[in-house]
Every structure is written in structure tokens, then in C-alpha cells.
Amino acid sequence: MKVKVKKGELRNSQSKAVVVGQFEGSKNLEGSAAVLDKNCDGLISDLIKDGVFQGKLFETGIVNTRGLIMPDWVVVIGLGKKNELNLEKVRGAFSKAARTIRDLNIKDFSASLDSGNTDLPIDKVAQSAVEGVLLGLYRFVPFKTIERDQIKEVNEFVIMETKPDLLKIIKSAAKTGEIISDAVYYTRDLVAAPSNEMTPSILADKAREAFVKRPVELKIISEPAMKKLGMNALLGVARGSNEPPKLIIMEYNGGKKGERPVVLVGKGITFDSGGISIKPADSMDEMKTDMSGGAAVIGTLMASADLRIPFNIVGIIPATENLPGGNAYKPGDILKSMSGKTIEVLNTDAEGRVVLADAFAYANRYNPAAMIDMATLTGACIIALGDLIVGMMGTDEGLKNMIRVASEATGEKVWELPLWEEYDELIKSDAADFKNTGGRAGGAITAALFLSKFVGDYPWVHLDIAGPAWLKKDRPYISKGASGVGVRLMVELLRNWTR
């Protein structure tokens, strides 16, 4: 899919279709829609005259232009009430337009960003338009072999602009949107891949593939080195599987030499059966997505490198399967983690926090300026916040506030849960330092408290993405399935980063 920005008017577009927007409750067409309507003898205003088209959010109207202008079709998208338009709705509207165009089996379309005066900054609108189109058209089809020719595809999206001073701004913002969307695509592909095609070794290969042509250094730590480092927590979880675990490390040096990096850690369980504490069969297949945090870290580093973000960023992914087997770790086992702290395993299905403990210990070597981890950590977080909201817990108000700002901007919804020491006793172990479960009540919080015991003295935030990593229904610009959640949030955070 190509994204282009061109100088000119919509009526002269070379595309087969053009898209214009219309607000709800306004009697007249505005912006580019008004111009286009004049160009084609009022064909578009006919739609609103009879109340056939009301401009309700994401409503669509389709008009044939009968040769009056170059493009054959005009797709009109409802933008809802004018004073309620925001970037999230811009993404949704462009996604709806792109999906409508695809359903019509049209391969290319143009749009203008001028839908009448709104207060939204043009660069953000351009970036959101591109994100809406690209993210909304995503599909996961590599394993479909029959009737492939019937898969409809849009090949080109052109933004048309007449004002020369705006062209440059729009071009650069559209490029940003494209870079970020590409990274989200890569992340979604990793998450959607089934576990037989996404083992820890394949995940490491995919990271290598992502960074061959990017200024990111990749290091893979395999079993022998893990043993030397004393990573017995990660090794313990990996014992039930025949697939060797990998610790995937990515270093991007966009900042000054020696400057403390921002460290991103992502849970990389390529399949979570629960282990000896095995999960029920229903929906167990979904646990192929238990490496969503790790995949989001890879996507974030890809986009950070492409955007030349001026900071040092390190990504760390502890990757393994969690399976039952003759050699698997068992309830009651005590593991001595790399940090030296001991973990009593009460439930082998609480494996995420166990592998993250060793990843955190490794992260400490970097003397992080801050650390953020993303993990599909607990079902309890889904019970607390539902399928669409990321749970946030952490030790630093400043960092949490910056994440809240990035959440507002990207539409990747985040809500904080308290990380209070009242529940510390729930993860104290009789036999070891900590136990890996704190019971059902407050499960997302006790999981985060466990993680906090392995974090050094620097700002840290944990993002539990168990809900939004995998969507059961289509959303306005995020298709059902792997969402790539975390990538846009982290890239926005890093682009706004201040020390």
C-alpha cells in the first residue's frame, strides 16, 4: 500500500475514488466537499438535501460522478457533530472510508484533509488520516491459500492539498503515520501468528529481520549464557518445553553516548498452556498471543529507529513457551532468580511475572533512566478494566502522567490501578522470598507488586495489556484479532519524552 501527498484539487485526482467528510446537522457542505460539489453539479448536496445522508459519525454515502470530474466515485463520510471531532474520530472516519473503498473493490483513492474549519492541528490530522487508513485495512491472511484472488486490496491512498505551505507539513506527518503503522503491522503479524510458527527462536529471527536495515543492535542470549547469568526463573518456566528459550535484546542509540536509556521490557510467552497448572481447553488457542508485549517492544524499536528518536532505547524480551512436561517446573518449586531473590511457584500459570523477574534483573545492567514493561499478565486485569483498557501500575507519577498524555493522543486507553503496599503480604512466601500468586482478589495488582520487587531504583511503569492485545470484535480502525496495542502508545510517549 502506497501513501502519497500531492498538490492539487480533488476533482483532478487520478484516483478512481475520492473521499470527503461531512458534519452532522450542517445544511451545507464545507471545505473540500463544497468545492467538489460545485465541480459535479451538486450531486453530493443532493445526498444531504433529502436527509438521505445526515453526517452521523462514520455514516457513508456513495455518489457516481458521471464523468463530471476525473474520479468516478465520491465516498462521503459522516464526521458527527463538528464541535465533537477529535483525532480518534478522524482515524475512525478514514478507516471507514478505506474499508468502504475496499468493499467496492476500488484500488486507489484520494482525500483532502479540509473538511471545514476545525481546531485540530493539520499535522496531527494528516498523521491520523494515514493511521486510520492503514490500520483499518489490516488483515492477517498469510495462511489462507484458497480463493486468494478474491481478497480485495487497496493499493494507493493520496492526500491532495492545494496550499503550498501546508504540503510540506502534511508530507512529513503522513510519513510519521506510515512509519508507525508499518511498525504496528509488524507487531500484529507477530501476535497473530500461531505458536507453531512463532516459537522463541522464530521470534528472535523476526527481531533480527526487523533490525537488519535499521540502526538497532540485536543480541540474543541462549540457554548456556542464561545458565551462566543465573537466570533460573526464565529457565524454570522454559523447562517444560522442547523449544529453547531466548532472551532478545535490542539496543537503539539515538541519544548521546553513555546517556541512560529508556528500557522497554515485553513479555514473550509464545504459548501459555498454563504448564502443570494447566488452563481449560476453551480459548486456550488465544494464548498464542501471550507474546504481545514482546511484539510491541519490537514494533516500538522499529518505529523509534525510523523516526530517529533522539534517545537511547533498549528493548528486552524474555521469550519461552509455558508447557507441561516431564521436566516442567511444578507448583511448590522454588526458583533462584538472577537477582538472587527466590520465588516459590504456587501456580505455574503465573509464569509471566517469573520470566519478567529475570528480564528486569538483566535490565538493571543498563542503569535505566526509566523502565516500562508491557505484558499480557493477568486475566484479573480484564475482569477489572474489560477488553479495551490497558491497566497501568507504577512507581513514578511523572512517568505515569506522560503515559496518560500519550494515551489521550493515541486513543490507546490506559487506566491506573493502585500499587499499594497493603497487599504486599499477599505475595510473601513462607518458604522463599516471594510467591508467584497472591490469590484471585486484586490479581492484577498483586502481579504488579511481585514485579516491583525486581525493579531497581528508577522510575518504572507496568502496563498490563491482557485485554486489548487481542480483540474479539472489529473496532472503528482496529480489526478484530491482534491489535498491536502498546506500539502507538510507546512511540507517542518517546516522541514527547522529556527528562
Residues assigned a catalytic role:
279, 353
Sign of CA dihedral 111, 112, 116, 120: positive
Least distance in angstroms from the C-beta of 235 to Mn ion: 17
Site string for ligand BES, 250-279 (x = CB under 6 A): ----------------------x-------
Q: Phi/psi of residue 357, each to 5°?
A: -55, -45
* Range 255-294, binding Mn ion (CB under 5 A): 272
Output the smallest distance, CB 274 to Zn ion, in A: 8
Q: Where does residue 374 rank: exposed (0-12), middle (13-18), buried (19+ CB within 10 A)?
A: buried
CA atoms within 13 A on the CB side of 209: 10
Rounded Cα distance between 16 and 87, Å, is 26
Told to check if 466 binds ligand BES by CB under 6 A, we report yes
User: Closer to ligand BES at the Cβ: 8 or 439?
Assistant: 439
# of chain residues touching Zn ion (CB under 5 A): 4
Q: Length of the chain, please?
A: 499
Of 275, 294, 352, 394, which lies in the binding site for Zn ion, with binding defined by CB under 5 A?
352
Closest CB 13 distance from ligand BES, rounded Å: 44
Q: Are 258 and 365 in contact (CB under 8 A)?
A: no
Find the residue with minimal CB distance to Mn ion.
349
CA–CA–CA angle 313, 319, 321 (5° rounding): 160
Q: Which residue is nearest to ligand BES (CB)?
A: 379
Work out whether 411 is an interface residue with ligand BES (CB under 6 A): no
Residue 467 binding Zn ion, by CB under 5 A: no
CA distances (Å), origin 248, targets 282, 308, 314, 319, 422 = 31, 22, 11, 7, 35
**Strand 414-416 to 390-394 pairing:** parallel
- Longest pairwise C-alpha distance within the chain: 82
Residue 372 in contact with residue 313, Cβ under 8 Å? no
Q: Please, which residue, 30 or 272, has the CB nearer to Mn ion?
A: 272
The label of the residue with cell 488483515 reads: 139
Q: How far is residue 448's CA from residue 461's CA, in Å, rounded to a whole number? A: 9
**Min CB(272)–Mn ion separation in Å:** 4
Site string for Zn ion, 235-274 (x = CB under 5 A): ----------------------------------x--x--
Cα separation, 132 vs 398, in Å, equals: 30
Closest approach, Cβ 234 to ligand BES, in A, equals: 14
Helix axes 122-137, 164-192, angle to 10 degrees: 30
Stretch that binds ligand BES, among 44-52, 116-124, 303-311, 375-383 (CB under 6 A): 375-383
Choosing from 9, 114, 290, 321, the residue that interacts with Zn ion (CB under 5 A) is: 290
- Choose between 245 and 411: whose C-beta lies nearer to Zn ion: 245
> Contact between 443 and ligand BES (CB under 6 A)?
yes
Distance CA 357, CA 42 (A): 65
Q: Which amino acid is at 351?
A: E
In the complex, least distance from residue 393 CB atom to ligand BES, rounded to whole angstroms: 15
Residue 397, CB half-sphere, CA atoms under 13 Å: how many? 0
Stretch of 172-180, 191-199, 349-357, 395-403 lying at the interface with Mn ion (CB under 5 A): 349-357
Per CB under 6 A, does 373 bind ligand BES?
Answer: no
CB of 25 to ligand BES, least distance (A): 41
Beta-bridge partner residues of 319:
246, 268
Q: Is 349 in the site for Mn ion (CB under 5 A)?
A: yes
| By the rule CB under 5 A, 464 interacts with Mn ion | no
Quick one: which of 232, 238, 189 has its CA closest to 209?
Answer: 189
Q: Which does 241 bind (CB under 5 to 8 A by kind): ligand BES, Mn ion, Zn ion, none?
A: none
Using CB under 6 A, list all residues that contact ligand BES.
272, 290, 347, 349-352, 376-380, 437, 443, 466
Using CB under 5 A, list all residues that contact Mn ion.
272, 349, 351
